Chains A and B, each alone.
Chain A
Amino acid sequence: MANIGKLARRGGLYTLLGGFAFFGAFPFYWMVIATFKRDHDLFSPLNNPFLFNEPPTLDHLRLLFFETHFTGYLVNTLIVGFAVVVITLATAVPAAYALARWARGWGESLGIGIFLTYLVPPTILFIPLSRFASFFGLQESLWSLILVYPTFTIPFCTWLLMGFFKTIPKDIEEQAMIDGLSRFGAMTKVVFPLAISGILTVVVFSFTLSMHEFIYALTFISVSAKKTVSIGVPTELVRGDVFQWGPLMAGALIASIPVAVVYTYFLDRFVAGFTMGAVK
């Protein structure tokens, strides 16, 4: 009897998890199907939509890569993501270090203050920032995105890195200074290498958050060749009012999966930043 109860609980657990996994992943399964389905099969309402009623095809992928700007969107996304990572590292790493190390009291408050600016949403800032962009002649330029995206990466990453630096004991750098390194040298040669996992986390987030961003890109960029994937795919793969579902789904899928794999690996650290002091 005990075994049956255990079996039932096991079955219940798998059903529950299966249900949630289905809910989370179904839209992406749906993209896979549409990516490889022939148009004729895709647009026959009587065909079973979950299966391939006709042999699969690579037509949509060919169209996506050779007849749209999709590869351009990917390249633009990489350029913006890379530049944002550089700016974020250059500003957030030193700030976080200084806040975590030297500034008691006001450092903590300033750190929290910086984190709170993360809560000022793009939906309030995009109208004035669009004027900034046009004032500096940066509309339709990737530079507008490169300069604006750090507004959400710097606050969050500074906060995240403060946590990392606090876990590195002060003795290590004090010892390094006794050994003859300067204050600055102790920081760059001893502490930063120890914080490498935190720095890597910041690299991943700055890149993924830039890639996810939608509102600024939608507002600043309207020339197809300059778009990033997050706006290029939803706005450009439409002819007139007709969505090109095959290439559209293929593009969404191809851009989503790699970033999702990396992000999944780092998500726990990301969330540790959100929860701040609420779990200790």
Chain B
Amino acid sequence: MTPPARPDSSPPSYRGGVFDRQDTLAKLLIAPAVLYIVAMIGAPFVLAVLYSLSNATTGDPSLHLVGLRNFTAALEDPVFRLALRNTFVFTLLSQSIVIILSRILANALLKPFRGKWLVRFLILLPWTAPISLGTIGWLWMYDSIFSPIDWVLRYLGMLGTATALLGPQTNMYWLGVPGLAIASVILVNVWRILPLATVIQLGGLSSIPRDLIEAAEVDGASPWRRTLMITIPLTLPIVSIAFLFGVVFTFTDLVVVYVLTRGGPVQTTQVLSSWTFFKGIEAGDLAQGAAISLFMFPVLAVVAIFILRLARRTEVV
């Protein structure tokens, strides 16, 4: 018995099997992922567009095209207009705050200090824990009677006495008064996205070459000038990426509004995604729901273009 020939002693084999032809193999390997995306993202997207042009309901989901009626009906609906405005206001306000805070936080996290892993874990919690469960924690903190925020305000004498700064009532009703409910929703959005933006910014800040900053220091540039002339221009792409992804996630988010307010009080915190859900699923008006959700699309397309440009511009290939 001779031992089988060791593979490495044979010359390179060019057996012509399917798995050896690169082009065929490449297509075979890519196909499942592409088919999945076409079937489960592409097809539903087309169906959403068709629904938005139809009069389909959950009771009668057949497609009868009725033109742009759903879009004009949506635009005439005051709740929709409020939801549209809220979606922009909540997103832009929360993400502006996030960009500033995440920059401050990322700078602090760059410095060496003890217990970094614990601080990191705690700071990242809002992003790493399931958002619906984190928001439930906030719902209990905003409780109309047992809110710990109210308790502290009462303890400090700012609430609940005749002469108190915030009024004689014992509670603020965070989710029960329109202005406060809006602020509450924005705060939870900030809380949620801050960790993501911070980690993205950390990547940007730590990629600035140290010698560049040191050279500027040697040349006598003040810290303010170093920030203005080196850090900000060099980290602008990464800050933009952080901002754009924050916008995508906040703009399309349903959870925060759904769990905290369901759009109340009197629809004042309704956003496009929650209004889509209430109209399209709970009220069963598929056509209206689809039309409302598609109002998000132009913004997302613009964001996608910006993300692409940023990726292309900085690509070193």
Contacts and interface: CB of A to CB of B under 8 A. Distances in A.
Interface of A: 13-14, 16-17, 20-21, 23-28, 30-31, 34, 42-43, 45, 48-50, 90-92, 94-95, 97-99, 101-103, 110, 112, 114, 116-117, 119-132, 147-148, 150-151, 154-155, 158, 177-184, 208, 211-212, 214-215, 218-219, 229-231, 233-234, 243, 245, 248-249, 251-253, 255-257, 259-261, 263-264, 267-268, 271-272, 274-280
Contact of A21 (B119, B148, B207, B237): B119
B12 A183 contact: no
Given A14-B113, A123-B254, A212-B130, A98 B41 contact: no
Interface residues of B, number: 112
A117 B276 CA distance: 20
A261 B121 CA distance: 7
Contacts of B33: 91-92, 94-95, 114, 154, 158
B163 interface: no
Contact of B238 (A20, A130, A278): A278
A211 B127 CA distance: 13
Contacts of B207: 279-280
Interface of B: 7-8, 10, 12-13, 15, 17, 19-20, 22-23, 25-30, 32-34, 36-37, 40-41, 43-45, 47-48, 51, 61, 101, 104-105, 108-109, 111, 113, 118-141, 145-146, 148, 151, 170, 191, 194-196, 199-200, 203-204, 207, 237-238, 240-241, 245, 248, 252-255, 258-259, 272-273, 276-277, 280-281, 286, 289-290, 293-294, 296-297, 300, 303-304, 307-308, 310-312, 314-316
Given A103-B26, A183-B19, A43 B45 contact: no
A124 B48 contact: yes
B26 A132 contact: no
Contacts of B37: 114, 117, 151, 154-155
A174 to B, nearest CB: 9
A95 B34 contact: yes
Given A151-B37, A214-B255, A278-B237, A125 B48 contact: yes
B199 to A, nearest CB: 5
A24 B191 contact: yes
A34 B45 contact: no
A76 B259 CA distance: 21
Nearest to A228: B130
With a 10 A CB-CB cut-off, give which of B23, B139, B140, B294 has the most chain A CB atoms. Answer: B140
A219 B254 CA distance: 12
A214 B123 contact: no
Given A45-B146, A95-B34, A234-B259, 12 more contacts: A24-B126, A27-B134, A42-B146, A94-B28, A101-B26, A126-B281, A127-B289, A208-B128, A211-B130, A214-B131, A230-B132, A248-B140
Contacts of A116: 304, 308
B7 A230 contact: no
Contacts of B125: 24-25, 28, 256, 260
B249 to A, nearest CB: 9
Contacts of B135: 234
A31 B138 CA distance: 10
Contacts of B312: 277
